Amino acid sequence: MASSPSAVTDESYRSQPSIEDQMAVLVKRVGFVRGLVLKSPLYWESIELLAKDEVSRGIFYALPHECKLHYLQRKTKALNVEERASYLL
């Protein structure tokens, strides 16, 4: 008996990591980029870019470590300096 298309879809859906798990991996990988200043505009914009754009995320994951910072700078044009939290004052 052949399985129904919904059964295949349901099975493949269950094998996918949750969006929360996918984003946790993304944030961890961005945080490991050598030379990237945490809490910088580049850090935040990189997370947003890679969360929204699957192709850019795939390229980022595939790049050698020494190219990741340059790639993020080219894609976002953001500064790699720590942001001051002036909005909290």
Residue 63 DSSP SS3: coil
> Is the dihedral angle over the CA atoms 37, 75, 63, 14 positive or is it negative?
positive
Residue 42 DSSP SS3: helix
pTM more than 0.85: no
pLDDT at 58 over 80: yes
pLDDT at 38 over 60: yes
Q: Among candidates 27, 88, 38, which has minimal Cα distance to 60?
A: 27
Residue 77 to residue 89: CA distance in whole angstroms: 27
Structural contact between residues 51 and 30, judged by C-beta atoms closer than 8 angstroms: no
Residue 58 DSSP SS3: helix
